[in-house]
Amino acid sequence: MAALPAACRHQARGERRRPSQDRGWRIERQRPRHRGRRAQRAQPRRRHPAPHDFWVKIAYQGEPGAYSDEAVAALFPGADAVGYATFRLTFEALAIGAVDSAVLPVENSSAGIVQEVSDLLWELPDLRVIREHVQPVKHCLLGWPGPVERALSHPQALAQCSRYLHSRQIKPVAFHDTAGAARAVAEQRQPGTAAIASKAAAARYGLYVLAESIQDDSENRTRFVVVEKGTP
């Protein structure tokens, strides 16, 4: 079991708090929705793997161009970033040693705790949180010129842009990943369908940026943690 940052404790009580920007942090436990096997309490230690270690593999949930992919690049420049379709697959890759560490979102200043990640951190044994990273998140509406009727994106991103979508009567459609939604829109070219993702995803998949900074909170931020297997 790896514990979550202190900010998640406020979210669990229904309070809204933006992730702090300071470098200091401490580990506190967040109660999940269901019971799971308990592991040793995580303890902070030196960052590992070191930055610029080009031979290390870092897992994240999503496809190239996802916000988690950007977080990996910020934390471990030059590392081999490996995307997985789901959070569970990301954790499993770490558990079997297919990757050295995983970078995972644990809470957002607008949408709150990423509950699935919180649950998996409690459920799976022998995990250690070794670092955290707060990243500004600016959502964009990506697609092709013309009226937009529906927007594909990860449920967290859709929640963070709910006011924008509601005011324009755009139907939110859940997708496994922000960058994956951008790729799907680029490949399918379906009229009236757009994606909510980053400007970097627009460049990667050749889409127009139809609107920028559409998130409800102008100071929208996501807190990521670096997780690795604990010492037996």
CB 216 within 8 A of CB 161: yes
CB neighbour list of residue 101: distance below 8 Å, 6 or more residues apart: 48, 49, 56, 58, 59, 76, 94, 130, 226, 227, 228
User: Which H helix or E strand runs over 195?
Assistant: strand 193-197
Distance CA 204, CA 182 (A): 9
Secondary structure of residue 178 in the 3-state scheme = helix
**d(Cα 157, Cα 77) in Å, to the nearest integer?**
25
Distance in angstroms (rounded) separating the CA atoms of residues 115 and 63 = 20
Catalytic residues: 222, 224
Residue 60 near residue 72, CB atoms below 8 Å: yes
Residue 198 in 3-state DSSP?
coil
* C-beta separation of 86 from 102 below 8 A: no
